[in-house]
Amino acid sequence: MPLTATQELEIQDLQTQTYSTRRAISQGLEEILYEAFPALDHGFVRVMDYMGNDSSIVQAARVSYGKGTKKVTEDRGLIHYLLRHSHTTPFEMCEIKFHIKLPIFVARDWIRHRTANVNEYSGRYSILDKEFYIPAPEHLGAQSTSNRQGRGKTLSPDQSQHILQILREDAARAYAHYEEFLNEDTNGNIIDPQKDKLARELARINLPLNIYTQWYWKIDLHNLMHFLNLRADSHAQYEIQVYANIMLDIVKQWVPFTYEAFMQYRKEGARFSKNGLMALKKIVKGQSVSQEESGMTKREWQEFTEQLDLPL
Amino acid sequence: MPLTATQELEIQDLQTQTYSTRRAISQGLEEILYEAFPALDHGFVRVMDYMGNDSSIVQAARVSYGKGTKKVTEDRGLIHYLLRHSHTTPFEMCEIKFHIKLPIFVARDWIRHRTANVNEYSGRYSILDKEFYIPAPEHLGAQSTSNRQGRGKTLSPDQSQHILQILREDAARAYAHYEEFLNEDTNGNIIDPQKDKLARELARINLPLNIYTQWYWKIDLHNLMHFLNLRADSHAQYEIQVYANIMLDIVKQWVPFTYEAFMQYRKEGARFSKNGLMALKKIVKGQSVSQEESGMTKREWQEFTEQLDLPL
Amino acid sequence: MPLTATQELEIQDLQTQTYSTRRAISQGLEEILYEAFPALDHGFVRVMDYMGNDSSIVQAARVSYGKGTKKVTEDRGLIHYLLRHSHTTPFEMCEIKFHIKLPIFVARDWIRHRTANVNEYSGRYSILDKEFYIPAPEHLGAQSTSNRQGRGKTLSPDQSQHILQILREDAARAYAHYEEFLNEDTNGNIIDPQKDKLARELARINLPLNIYTQWYWKIDLHNLMHFLNLRADSHAQYEIQVYANIMLDIVKQWVPFTYEAFMQYRKEGARFSKNGLMALKKIVKGQSVSQEESGMTKREWQEFTEQLDLPL
Amino acid sequence: MPLTATQELEIQDLQTQTYSTRRAISQGLEEILYEAFPALDHGFVRVMDYMGNDSSIVQAARVSYGKGTKKVTEDRGLIHYLLRHSHTTPFEMCEIKFHIKLPIFVARDWIRHRTANVNEYSGRYSILDKEFYIPAPEHLGAQSTSNRQGRGKTLSPDQSQHILQILREDAARAYAHYEEFLNEDTNGNIIDPQKDKLARELARINLPLNIYTQWYWKIDLHNLMHFLNLRADSHAQYEIQVYANIMLDIVKQWVPFTYEAFMQYRKEGARFSKNGLMALKKIVKGQSVSQEESGMTKREWQEFTEQLDLPL
């Protein structure tokens, strides 16, 4: 785990203190607040704060003076109804704030989701930690032959070991050069008094994309579900999936009814094109349809049959 | 005050219950949570939920593992520093959710602030309450002669009374027609069994812009300050200023250091143009500048001298 | 048609002038630029400007130095691929700007789409035109019994005529009071010199929600498709559907490949829940499934069978 | 200049073709369309498309049927008025699309501006070019002693040469390793048939932050001015300033009146705090104020006197 003794103490300190509040709480989320859930070799996901629970969604949808509804089962039914009909604005009424440690190349994909708030640890202002993502050998996949932006079978042990050794050496060398550029040890003392300290904003430019950064990231529940729909998905890069899957579990603790509805109506449902729907209508009537008749391309037809567990 | 007995009970119910939380709290805001602060003749502002306090801003700016800083005075200093230098992202890390009752013509100006989340009471789905904004006589201003979108001196008592009577009669008539269209009494029973109920989404279209609506409105602290900078301002329409000023007081309770910095560096500061700054530099050196020499228009020159309490 | 002679001349003036540009153009959209397409009784939709065409989407997706691809058929294939896989960012690279005249109650629903730019005609600054939406009798629907926010069968001619008469009278009276409040004729002259002009920002508050307003509305193609997906839909209020359908036709002129892909993969496709997909898999294998076994509610089951043209 | 012969031809091809359009054009921008303006050692800024000109801003502010105003001088006056009073929405009605080549560490700062559209060249899908930012010796600044995130005096020639040599060697080595990982030459042929190609999404993670990437970036004029206000500023990192200054010149070509107003009321104006304004009022009355009396901190007082060219 990537935490120093001081960081562990700071976290424990936060977890020990409790306050009295009149606000809605999520018991599931209170229990894991501030906890660092490990991700990849040096990263983590922590929940730093949250606003609202399942009941708050119903409360906002109804523009209530008091709570959501009288009965928990009513709340559940309404949440399913809202998500099923894409009435998404009430889900924007819940908010969550994460502290995340992640490699820069993951951060670069992540930040493309713009409807969120971010404070990143600044390499202009501070010195980055000596932590680099080195993949586990089983995740060193070859370039996929079917999907230009995916990875396929695992590399041979020999090739893997060779690549991992290069990654480790390059990381070590890059960080040594970083320190030389900064001309400053971990206590802030000058290393070589004959030399200047290169500006931090420049010293960092030689560091590789697998170095870790960290940020606070705050988002509403609707936009978080959109993020999870795309990133807790097999088409996303493996390394961001790791984070997204941890966050999906956190959503389950936070708003269990919403999680259930999200899995039912989004994550594990399916979408069909106009041609796909027309083919489906014939098939359920017992008529046969070929790829050519369907109007679908071969690739579409393959995906269509896979979605339905049909033979090609 | 615009609350029914049931609504008052629902609010009291929320205020009575307390929970234990590990989250950061704002003591000032806890005390006024759920309270309905009256606005205009039938409106109100209520805080329904919030995330974070002054310390959370510092915590996010530092991407901390634990709290913001050790000392409260350090938090204050950093918050002033951040706002002074327009480092606004840490202020996005605090969030607040309001329940607001307001006339539709106010809601239409309000909604132009897009970086916020909204759930409005739906006139397609529900029946609107019989509540209309009727200005107090002292707020019935004449069209401003200097500012095409402002109001000037108060109308004469006679003209005021005449206008107010029309507003009251038109509101009463519009609501009577609304009920006739809906063909449904307040208990949901048909009034005239010979007739149909007109669809709610159509029945509402005859209602005037001074009828009240209500919504849940959620926004982060940075965007809220932007809203307050524009709307708690004498150039905004009086009726929206009333709401903005209540919210400004709420910010003071919620995040006192941020409030202080906001007043110091935004609300009560001043901005000068390039020509204004050049004129200032001359004046402080003891040189005289005329409007003509300054490059400013007459209107700009007037504003310039007013900002500095100078004779024209 | 709602245009004055002056307005018609201004439009013709814009349409007559042509310029030479190196920018990508859409021939289809050039032909209808500035044209006012009538909507409802006094409204319209006009395209005032646009950026990009089908080829620009491919160009951006490829981060090209030159054009999108060499062949038009390649452009088409890529656009279908992008939309099918929800790679939506290239569609944000096209932009369109509309001038729209619409009743205020429609504008209020419309503005909920926040990722757009708006300049609305200001009732604080200017005097609103005497134009009110009076529905055609065939659109005076009764409150739906199955959908709390929809409309059902048309009202009887008697009831319709009665309602329409009230709408017309109330509109005329409201506008007469508006003019009395403004105390200003259409040439800007005072009507009653004994009285003041009430501030415009106040005079407007007595006007009903069916009065027309107008705005410039600018949006990117991705967000426009999202808008059209929700508003050119039978669940949207009829009056906003009218506008959305006109805009859908405009998209067809502007970016024909994108339009085709949008209809294929979004508008005329279908989405199934996890339970729906499981039921589908059984049905296509020839197994029977009942509503009870499916895990769907009765309402969901009904929608499921309707989507597939199955008997309930 | 960083362009290949093919790229130059593609650009010339775009520049040679002209079309007839009814849309508003900006003559200044037409002349430089598609041109690659060099930035840093391998980067550039190109305008790929635009929507609107100065007159479009006035047209939108007035919600016009035809053009903005009759006279060019009226357009200019209105634009100055709008910017002076922070009526910013009409400036959102102009849009511009850039093609930019920039080092990744610059891209990471840039992307924090969220109200824009982006398509970035994908390192998951494609192979990155062998181009790294190596600063000119005169830009190798030492860490600033007064500003924790700035750079101060230039390093000694010896230290500079040493650092630059490391940067060059590390870049060359990183790219050699990248090619080895990819196991693919520039024609897409396998280099070592005994080995697999590592997935592109993984091969890239060892590349340093000074490698160049490129993207299409589209933004409206209001948000572009906000970007330029922050990034064409001496507090921004030098490398992003280079890009911002090129874009500021482009704005001057595109919308000359807006540029003029932007410089007058934003870029070259000044903002004073409440305490600063109070001190100013005393000074212009001939009263003396000390730092202590002013309520300002020493740092604020220093900035205050510098803004006014006063002795400390």
The CATH number assigned to the domain holding A70 equals 3.30.1360.170
Residues C32 and C65 sit within 8 Å (Cβ to Cβ): no
Name which of A263, A265, A284 is nearest C284 (Cβ-Cβ): A284
pLDDT at B312 over 70: no
Residues A127 and A184 sit within 8 Å (Cβ to Cβ): yes
Cβ contact, residue pair C308, A284, below 8 Å: yes
Cβ contact, residue pair A117, B89, below 8 Å: yes
In chain B, the number of structural domains is: 2
The dihedral sign for the CA sequence D144, A179, A209, D4: positive
Considering only CB atoms, which chain B residues are within 8 Å of A7?
Answer: 65-66
Considering only CB atoms, which chain A residues are within 8 Å of C268?
Answer: 274, 277
Cα–Cα distance between C209 and C212 in angstroms, integer? 8
Inform me whether the C-beta atom of residue B236 falls under 8 Å from chain D C-beta atoms: no
Quick: pLDDT tens for B2-21: 799 999 999 999 999 999 99
Shortest Cα distance, chain B CAs vs residue A27, angstroms: 9
On whether residue C281 sits in a domain, the answer given is yes
The residues of chain D scoring below 70 in pLDDT are: 1, 312
On whether residue B66 sits in a domain, the answer given is yes
Packing angle between helix C157-182 and helix B157-182, nearest 10 degrees? Answer: 170
Inform me whether the C-beta atom of residue A32 falls under 8 Å from chain B C-beta atoms: no
Q: Do both B4 and B56 map to the same domain?
A: yes
The residues of D annotated with a catalytic role in the active site are 231
**Looking at C2-16, C83-97, C145-159, which range is the least confident one?**
C145-159
- Chains with at least 3 CB pairs less than 8 angstroms from chain C: A, B, D
Of the ranges A299-303, B49-53, B192-196, the best mean pLDDT one: B49-53
Q: Do both C215 and C297 map to the same domain?
A: no
Q: Do both C104 and C19 map to the same domain?
A: yes
Q: What is the pLDDT of residue B187?
A: 79
Inform me whether the C-beta atom of residue C154 falls under 8 Å from chain A C-beta atoms: no
Inform me whether the C-beta atom of residue A232 falls under 8 Å from chain D C-beta atoms: no
On whether residue B189 sits in a domain, the answer given is no
Q: Do both A223 and A286 map to the same domain?
A: no
Inform me whether the C-beta atom of residue D129 falls under 8 Å from chain C C-beta atoms: no
Quick: pLDDT tens for B20-44: 999 999 999 999 999 999 999 999 9
On whether residue D254 sits in a domain, the answer given is yes
Q: Do both B43 and B123 map to the same domain?
A: yes
Q: What is the pLDDT of residue C149?
A: 79
pLDDT at C1 over 90: no
Considering only CB atoms, which chain B residues are within 8 Å of D236?
Answer: none
Residue of C nearest to A295 (CA): C264
Quick: pLDDT tens for B201-237: 999 999 999 999 999 999 999 999 999 999 999 999 9
The residues of chain A scoring below 70 in pLDDT are: 1, 312
Considering only residues 252 to 271 of chain A, which have any Cβ-Cβ distance to chain B shorter than 8 Å?
none
Percent above pLDDT 90 for chain C: 89
Cα–Cα distance between C195 and C193 in angstroms, integer? 5
H helix or E strand, kind and range, residue A222: helix A221-231
Q: Do both B286 and B235 map to the same domain?
A: no
Q: Do both A71 and A12 map to the same domain?
A: yes
Where are the alpha helices (H) located in B138-232, listed in sequence order? Answer: 157-182, 200-203, 221-231
Q: Do both D253 and D302 map to the same domain?
A: no
- Chains with at least 3 CB pairs less than 8 angstroms from chain B: A, C, D
- Closest by alpha carbon to C279, among C288, C268, C271, C270? C288
Q: What is the pLDDT of residue A73?
A: 83
On whether residue B6 sits in a domain, the answer given is yes
Q: Which of B15, B18, B22 to mutate to test the interface with A (most CBs of A within 10 A)?
A: B22
Q: Are strands B117-120 and C43-51 parallel, antiparallel or unpaired?
A: unpaired
Quick: pLDDT tens for C226-244: 999 999 999 999 999 999 9
Q: Please give the model's pTM, rounded to 2 decimal places.
A: 0.97
On whether residue D11 sits in a domain, the answer given is yes
Cα dihedral D106, D184, A233, A47, rounded to 10, equals: -40
- Supply the range of the domain harboring residue D287: 274-307
Quick: pLDDT tens for B256-297: 999 999 999 999 999 999 999 999 999 999 999 999 999 999
Q: What is the ipTM of this complex?
A: 0.95
Cα–Cα distance between D168 and D196 in angstroms, integer? 28
Which residues are CB-neighbours of A294 under 8 A, at least 6 positions away?
Answer: A275, A276, A278, A279, A301, A304
Q: How confident is the model at residue B51 (pLDDT cuts 50, 70, 90)?
A: very high
Q: What is the pLDDT of residue D1?
A: 54
Look up tokens 């200017």; give the residue: C126
Q: Do both D9 and D49 map to the same domain?
A: yes
Name which of D7, D11, D56 is nearest C49 (Cβ-Cβ): D56
Q: How many CB pairs under 8 A join A and B?
A: 156
B14 to A64, A65, B9, B33: CA distances (angstroms): 11, 9, 9, 9
DSSP bridge partners of B118: B217
Q: What is the pLDDT of residue A185?
A: 80
Inform me whether the C-beta atom of residue B277 falls under 8 Å from chain D C-beta atoms: yes
Name which of B103, B148, B208 is nearest C208 (Cβ-Cβ): B208
- Exactly one of A231, A266, A271, A299 is catalytic; which is it? A231
Considering only CB atoms, which chain D residues are within 8 Å of B283?
Answer: 284
Considering only CB atoms, which chain A residues are within 8 Å of C222?
Answer: none
Q: Do both C218 and C297 map to the same domain?
A: no
Percent above pLDDT 90 for chain B: 89
Shortest Cα distance, chain D CAs vs residue A20, angstroms: 36
Percent above pLDDT 70 for chain C: 99
Inform me whether the C-beta atom of residue C207 falls under 8 Å from chain B C-beta atoms: yes
Q: Which long-range contacts (CB under 8 A, 24 or more apart) does A79-84 make?
A: A79/A54, A79/A257, A79/A258, A79/A261, A80/A257, A80/A260, A80/A261, A80/A264, A80/A265, A82/A57, A82/A261, A83/A258, A83/A261, A83/A262, A83/A264, A83/A265, A83/A266, A84/A261, A84/A265, A84/C273, A84/C300
On whether residue D73 sits in a domain, the answer given is yes
Q: Do both A100 and A83 map to the same domain?
A: yes
Q: Do both A30 and A66 map to the same domain?
A: yes
Cα–Cα distance between A27 and B83 in angstroms, integer? 35
pLDDT at C114 over 70: yes
Q: What is the pLDDT of residue D70?
A: 73
H helix or E strand, kind and range, residue D27: helix D27-32
- Closest by alpha carbon to D83, among D291, D260, D276? D260
Shortest Cα distance, chain C CAs vs residue B137, angstroms: 12
Inform me whether the C-beta atom of residue C174 falls under 8 Å from chain D C-beta atoms: no
Inform me whether the C-beta atom of residue B23 falls under 8 Å from chain A C-beta atoms: yes
Terminal-residue alpha carbon distance, chain C: 46
Cα–Cα distance between A24 and D283 in angstroms, integer? 53
Q: Which of B50, B102, B216 to mutate to test the interface with A (most CBs of A within 10 A)?
A: B216
On whether residue A69 sits in a domain, the answer given is yes
